[in-house]
């Protein structure tokens, strides 16, 4: 059995979700593809694929083995490239993920620059407000705004995201700016959440995190809607600083309660741990990390100057 050949066929079937599509991609007879997967299952003694008349799915064992095969084949290609000279010109496909808002506003512009700098690399950008499993969903790298818990991932720290409170200059002129979070109960607050809107906001005071009740005049399901309402003078809202920095710089919003902003949530660029990092991924990490760090630091400086 040619293990690398059988792994290549199995990875293609799992990725394509069927034998026929994999056979077309590989340029092999359908019968050969089916036979090699069956021989691989027999060799391992486990069922890797769940077959039906409509589709082919990876079993639990199949998902684990598929991810391992992808890493092994990627390592092999990288080892071949490093001694053949192709190491000097990274190429291939990359899949990268981030949250919807951060991805649109920060990661996507950097990806545009990256594509111009590396014409032989293609990028699939997955923007989703959920934790994407990098191995199961075949994702090469992710931007995570959170404390990391997955020890199987390698992380590069980019900076922090801080939650700030803001209102339009027109609202502040009309109602005044709150001087302490406790005063929010007497202000018109705009709360946002995909589920039930919060009845309290978090702040940092005397070295500790505190929550204060708010008076919700408008509840909405997205930050974009909340910020539009704040710019229109409806009330005070709270959001990650990366979402409001342009509005603040343009004068459409102003920061309030600046002295009570917390330390923030760390932002990391993460990728699966592996012995060899493919040159295409290494190029992406080295290109993207400093640019995102610079943008996050610029936001932090805006908050620090406003609080000074």
pLDDT score, position 274: 65
SS3 state at 15:
helix
SS3 state at 256:
strand
For residues 254 and 106, state if they share a domain: no
Q: Of the residues 26, 51, 84, which one is the last residue of a structural domain?
A: 84
CATH code (residue 153): 3.40.190.10
pLDDT score, position 299: 81
Residue where the block lists tokens 């075949």: 138
For residues 152 and 293, state if they share a domain: yes
Tokens encoding 54: 């409509």
For residues 247 and 183, state if they share a domain: yes
For residues 29 and 115, state if they share a domain: no
C-alpha 118: how far from chain center: 21
CATH code (residue 71): 1.10.10.10
pLDDT score, position 141: 94
C-alpha 220/C-alpha 167 separation (Å) is: 16
For residues 249 and 293, state if they share a domain: no
Q: Are 15 and 56 in contact (CB under 8 A)?
A: no
Surface-to-core class of residue 58, CB atoms within 10 Å of its CB (0-12 exposed, 13-18 middle, 19+ buried) = buried
Radius of gyration of the chain (CA): 25
C-alpha 273/C-alpha 152 separation (Å) is: 6
Alpha helices in the chain (DSSP H): 3-16, 19-26, 30-44, 60-84, 100-102, 108-117, 169-175, 223-231, 241-249, 279-307
pLDDT score, position 98: 95
For residues 271 and 143, state if they share a domain: yes
Tokens encoding 86: 């192709």
SS3 state at 54:
coil
For residues 255 and 281, state if they share a domain: no
Tokens encoding 68: 């391992």
For residues 169 and 251, state if they share a domain: yes
What secondary structure does DSSP assign to 159-199, as a single string?
EEE-EEEEE-HHHHHHH---SSGGGGGGS-EEEE-SSSPPS
For residues 202 and 279, state if they share a domain: no
87 secondary structure, DSSP code = G
For residues 73 and 12, state if they share a domain: yes
For residues 45 and 127, state if they share a domain: no
Q: Of the residues 36, 59, 84, which one is the last residue of a structural domain?
A: 84
CATH code (residue 218): 3.40.190.290
pLDDT score, position 3: 81
C-alpha 159/C-alpha 295 separation (Å) is: 9
Tokens encoding 283: 């190029």
Going from the first residue of the chain to its last (308 residues), give the mean pLDDT of each consecutive group of 10, the final group possibly shorter: 84 88 89 90 89 81 87 78 63 92 93 95 92 84 86 87 94 96 95 86 89 94 93 96 90 93 90 78 94 89 66
Q: Are 241 and 159 in contact (CB under 8 A)?
A: no
Query: What is the domain count for the chain?
Result: 3
C-alpha 215/C-alpha 188 separation (Å) is: 6
For residues 95 and 235, state if they share a domain: no
pTM equals 0.69
pLDDT score, position 82: 64
C-alpha 246/C-alpha 249 separation (Å) is: 5
C-alpha 36/C-alpha 132 separation (Å) is: 31
C-alpha 183/C-alpha 176 separation (Å) is: 11
Which range of residues forms the domain containing residue 44? 3-84
C-alpha 204/C-alpha 93 separation (Å) is: 43
């Amino acid at each position: 059995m040619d293990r690398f050949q059988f792994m290549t066929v199995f990875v293609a079937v799992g990725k394509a979700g069927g034998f026929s599509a994999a056979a077309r991609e590989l340029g092999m007879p359908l019968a050969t593809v089916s036979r090699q997967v069956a021989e691989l299952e027999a060799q391992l003694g486990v069922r890797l694929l769940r077959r039906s008349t409509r589709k082919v799915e990876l079993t639990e064992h199949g998902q684990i083995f598929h991810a391992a095969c992808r890493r092994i084949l990627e390592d092999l290609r990288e080892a071949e490239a490093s001694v053949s000279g192709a190491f000097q010109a990274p190429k291939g496909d990359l899949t990268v993920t981030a949250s919807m808002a951060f991805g649109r506003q920060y990661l996507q512009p950097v990806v545009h620059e990256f594509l111009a700098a590396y014409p032989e690399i293609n990028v699939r950008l997955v923007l989703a407000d959920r934790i994407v499993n990098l191995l199961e969903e075949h994702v090469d790298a992710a931007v995570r705004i959170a404390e990391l818990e997955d020890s199987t991932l390698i992380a590069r720290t980019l900076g922090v995201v801080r939650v700030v409170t803001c209102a339009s200059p027109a609202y502040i002129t009309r109602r005044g700016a709150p001087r302490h979070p406790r005063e929010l109960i007497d202000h018109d607050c705009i709360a946002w959440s995909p589920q039930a809107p919060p009845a309290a906001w978090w702040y940092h005071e005397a070295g500790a995190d505190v929550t204060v009740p708010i008076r919700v005049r408008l509840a909405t399901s997205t930050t974009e809607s909340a910020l539009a309402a704040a710019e229109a003078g409806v009330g005070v809202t709270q959001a990650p600083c990366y979402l409001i920095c342009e509005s603040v710089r343009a004068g459409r919003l102003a920061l309030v309660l600046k002295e009570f902003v917390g330390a923030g949530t760390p932002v990391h660029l993460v990728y699966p741990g592996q012995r060899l990092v493919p040159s295409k991924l290494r190029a992406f990490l080295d290109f993207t990390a400093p640019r995102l760090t610079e943008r996050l630091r610029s936001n932090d400086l805006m908050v620090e100057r406003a609080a000074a």
